[in-house]
Each structure stands twice: as C-alpha cells, then as structure tokens.
Copies of this chain bind each other. A is one copy, B any other.
Amino acid sequence: MGDLFIALIHHPVVNKRGNTVGSAVTNMDIHDIARAAISFGVKQYYIVTPYEDQATLTEQIMAHWTTGAGGKVNPWRKAALERVRVADSFETACSQIKDSSPAPLVTIATTARAAKGAVSCGTLREKQKGNASHMLIFGTAWGLTWDLIEQCDMILEPIKGAGDYNHLSVRSAASIYLDRLTNGR
C-alpha cells in the first residue's frame, strides 16, 4: 500500500434533514483523529473547511501544539498535530496530495448510510495495487453529501455494530476504519 491520507470535510456535508450545510471545526476532531492517524501510519490528515475564520482557528490550535507551548509539554501530541493540514476544499486537498507525489490517488468515501457498490475494509486492502496513495474521506455533521460520495473512487461499507444503531462519532468511526484497514477485516 502506498501513502494513506485522511480528509475531514466540514463543507459540503448534510444536516439531519439532508440539507447541504457547513459545520464548525471542533478541537476534539483535530486531536483525536490526528492521534489515530499517526497511530495507524497516516501521512497527512486534512481539515477541509472553506471558512476563513475556521481555517485560522485550526491553524492557531495546530501552532499551539507544534511550535508553541503545547508541544513542549506533550511531544506525542506535537508529533500527531504535525500531520494535520488545512485545505479550503476537497479538491484542494486532492491537488496538494497529487502535487506532492507522482503516485495515483484513490479517494475513498465513508458513510453510515447504505451505498451501492460499497466495499469492506478487507476488500479495499485486497484491491490496493502498487504504490497508489489512498485518501479516506469523513464527513462531519450528518455526513458527506451524496454528490461528494459519488465523486470518490470507492465507498467503504458502514461500520456494523451489534444492532441497528449507526450514530458513531466521526472520531470513533475514523479510529475503527483505520484499525480495520491496518489490522485486517
């Protein structure tokens, strides 16, 4: 498998009525998913937001933990946050990855909803060929828009638990998908 990337989308996502909206960046999404990302060998974790104030806030949080006081107190957090990037759109994140590497980029949507043609993490592992880079894409709020999901090369199956409840936090979902991709199934 080539390099692995993550993108956390704050626009376009849907609200609980299915309308396309933008969401606010939350501190815990940055930290928890960055820690999971470095644990499972993700090269870069993109926070995708078109809103300048949200991008600035994200960069301020990152700076505190990478070049500021936070990183001195907790070097493990510094290492995790150093993998975070900010992009103003999904397309910008993809372009930056493509610009940094000659490897092809396979984009993989995640969703808690049933989607035609969705594959398991096990199947995704088998399909990985050569040195292609892969980017896992997660939605905040009530998830990615169908338009964005359909732009992606692949879709991962929802995480199946013990029943029908499928309202995991995006932090939990990202952690579980990364574990499944790394450790099989």
Chain A residues close to B by CB (< 8 Å): 28, 31-32, 35-36, 38-41, 76-77, 79-80, 159-163, 165-169, 171-173, 175-176, 178-180, 182-185
- Most central of A80, A163, A171, A182 by chain B CB within 10 Å: A171
- Most central of A36, A163, A173 by chain B CB within 10 Å: A36
Contact B179 A39, beta carbon cutoff 8 Å:
no
- Most central of A39, A167, A171, A176 by chain B CB within 10 Å: A39
Return chain B residues, CB-CB under 8 Å to A76.
165, 167
Q: Which residue of B lies closest to A161 (CB)?
A: B39
* Contacting residue for A39 out of B38, B41, B166, B182, CB 8 A: B166
Contact A168 B36, beta carbon cutoff 8 Å:
yes
* Contacting residue for A175 out of B35, B77, B167, B172, CB 8 A: B172
Q: Bound state CA distance, A160 and B166, in angstroms?
A: 25
Q: Which residue of B lies closest to A182 (CB)?
A: B162
Show 9 A/B contacts (Cβ-Cβ < 8 Å), sorted by A.
A35-B167, A35-B172, A36-B169, A39-B162, A40-B161, A168-B175, A171-B172, A179-B179, A185-B185
Q: Which residue of B lies closest to A181 (CB)?
A: B162
A39-B166, A41-B162, A179-B180 given; name 19 further pairs at CB < 8 Å: A32-B172, A35-B169, A38-B165, A39-B163, A39-B165, A39-B168, A39-B172, A40-B162, A41-B161, A41-B163, A79-B165, A159-B179, A160-B183, A161-B178, A162-B182, A171-B172, A171-B175, A175-B176, A185-B185
